[in-house]
């Protein structure tokens, strides 16, 4: 009995230290760094302190790019495929031209990822800018390799030159008295009272006195001529409104200066054939990049500012033209701008210089 109790006591003494050791000796904790890309280098911005390395962590902080576990391509994309092939979308319809492409990391202006366009020059081959022209006054269609523009000569905006009940008379160069609105009984819906001009200063005739049609035929793909050519009297272009564009003369070698008082708020007046613009047409464009119209050499005329930069172009030639992107052709084309040069201290001439292309008659 004595020996049995002795052995039980010794067993208790030996077992108690192991059963009660709930506080093991402390370790020296280490700062571990995340190794997300598993290249053996740790991210200095993501760390964790512990006795042993957590899964996905290492003891160094030497990784400068802990994102990609594979290969970063030329575009900076992890496991990327490199540059993308982009196709030109000259007509802005979202479909790319399979014949014109380039490789780039980012999408170039005027390019898309598909090559599904079978005709990248515009709807039915018609340049996209013609969609801006007033449908009620202008018809545009293709005839072979030519674009045909037909206009009734009327503008699609208000003017004091629409028929109205206020009679006005003027003396022509031959001394004849020409009176307008002698028998008019009501105002045209687009008539407004004169503001920039007056009844006394207005030219004879109304917009709706004209009863004819203008036709301009231009190449589908116009080119600059080897030499510029001067503009003549009469229509030199067709505006998006439907009315005609004239140069800076009022007659043969007669500057516009003396006729300015007859111009309405949008720098237009009537005669000798129909209503037409000489200066920046403020009915729809005033110090901006808006499309003004098409010139008879086939190149478009835009407002004073560049659509891409919003600034005044600094690389214009003597006719106010240059090659560059427009809101209708991001890929770029030769086009004109109203030049940002004051005329008579207050106005901007529409087109005072020569054609850079080959002019076509507006009949």
Q: Assess if residue 11 is contained within a domain.
A: no
Q: Assess if residue 282 is contained within a domain.
A: yes
d(CA 43, CA 29): 18
The list of the chain residues with pLDDT below 50 reads 1-9, 11-20, 123
Q: Please identify, among 120, 144, 167, the residue that sits at the C-terminal boundary of a domain.
A: 120
Q: In this structure, what DSSP letter does residue 111 have?
A: E
* Same domain, residue pair 335 and 193: yes
* pTM for the structure as a whole: 0.67
* Degrees to nearest 5, angle at CA 193 with 257 and 287: 55
pLDDT of residue 69: 65
pLDDT of residue 25: 59
* Same domain, residue pair 108 and 42: no
Q: Assess if residue 5 is contained within a domain.
A: no
Count of residues in the chain: 363
pLDDT of residue 67: 67
Q: Assess if residue 362 is contained within a domain.
A: no
Q: Assess if residue 111 is contained within a domain.
A: yes
* Same domain, residue pair 235 and 333: yes
Domain carrying residue 90: 84-120
* Same domain, residue pair 319 and 242: yes
Helices (H), the chain: 2-19
* Same domain, residue pair 50 and 110: no
* Same domain, residue pair 217 and 104: no
- Render pLDDT for 58-86 as a digit per residue (tens, 0 to 9): 889 887 776 676 777 888 777 788 899 99
- For 2, the token pair is 């004595």
d(CA 169, CA 201): 10
C-alpha distances (whole Å) from 56 to each of 47, 81, 201, 207, 360 are 11, 27, 87, 81, 75
Please check whether residue 241 is in contact with residue 173, taking contact to mean a CB–CB distance below 8 angstroms.
Answer: no
Please check whether residue 41 is in contact with residue 60, taking contact to mean a CB–CB distance below 8 angstroms.
Answer: yes
pLDDT of residue 9: 43
Which residues are within 8 A (CB) of 245 and not within 5 positions of it... i.e. 6 or more apart? 235, 236, 237, 238, 239, 276, 277, 292, 293, 295, 301, 350, 351
Q: Assess if residue 209 is contained within a domain.
A: yes
* Same domain, residue pair 103 and 237: no
- For 234, the token pair is 């009469």
* Same domain, residue pair 113 and 143: no
CB burial readout 99-116, b (16+ within 10 A) else e: ebeeeeeeeeebbbeebe
DSSP per residue over 168-229, as a string?
Answer: EEEE-TTS-EEEESSS--S--TTB---SSS-TTTSPSS-GGG----EEEEEESS--EEEEEE
As for how many domains the chain has, the answer is 3
């Amino acid at each position: 009995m004595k020996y049995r109790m002795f052995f039980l006591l010794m067993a208790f003494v030996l077992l108690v230290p192991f059963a009660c050791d709930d506080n093991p000796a402390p370790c020296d904790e280490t700062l571990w760094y995340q190794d997300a890309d598993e290249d053996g280098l740790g991210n200095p911005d993501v760390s964790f302190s512990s006795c042993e390395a957590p899964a996905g962590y290492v003891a160094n902080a030497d990784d400068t790019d802990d994102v990609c576990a594979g290969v970063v391509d030329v575009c900076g994309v992890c496991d990327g495929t490199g540059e993308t092939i982009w196709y030109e979308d000259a007509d802005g319809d979202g479909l790319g031209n399979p014949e014109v492409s380039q490789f780039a990391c980012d999408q170039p202006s005027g390019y898309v990822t598909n090559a599904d366009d079978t005709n990248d020059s515009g709807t039915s081959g018609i340049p996209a800018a013609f969609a801006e022209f007033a449908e009620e006054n202008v018809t545009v269609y293709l005839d072979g390799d030519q674009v045909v523009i037909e206009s009734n000569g009327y503008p699609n905006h208000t003017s004091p030159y629409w028929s109205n009940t206020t009679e006005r008379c003027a003396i022509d160069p031959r001394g004849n008295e020409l009176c307008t609105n002698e028998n008019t009984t009501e105002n045209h819906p687009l008539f407004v009272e004169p503001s920039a001009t007056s009844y006394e200063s207005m030219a004879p005739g109304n917009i709706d006195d004209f009863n004819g049609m203008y036709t301009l035929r231009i190449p589908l793909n116009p080119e600059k001529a080897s030499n510029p050519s001067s503009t003549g009297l009469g229509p030199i272009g067709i505006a998006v409104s439907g009315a005609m564009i004239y140069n800076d003369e009022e007659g043969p070698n007669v500057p516009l200066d003396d006729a300015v008082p007859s111009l309405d708020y949008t720098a237009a007046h009537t005669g000798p054939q129909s209503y037409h613009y000489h200066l920046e047409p403020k009915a729809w464009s005033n110090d901006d990049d808006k499309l003004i119209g098409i010139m008879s050499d086939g190149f478009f005329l835009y407002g004073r500012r560049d659509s891409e930069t919003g600034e005044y172009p600094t690389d214009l030639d003597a006719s106010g033209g240059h090659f560059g992107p427009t809101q209708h052709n991001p890929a770029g084309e030769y086009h004109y701008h109203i030049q940002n040069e004051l005329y008579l201290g207050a106005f901007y001439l529409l087109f005072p210089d020569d054609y850079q292309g080959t002019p076509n008659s507006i009949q």
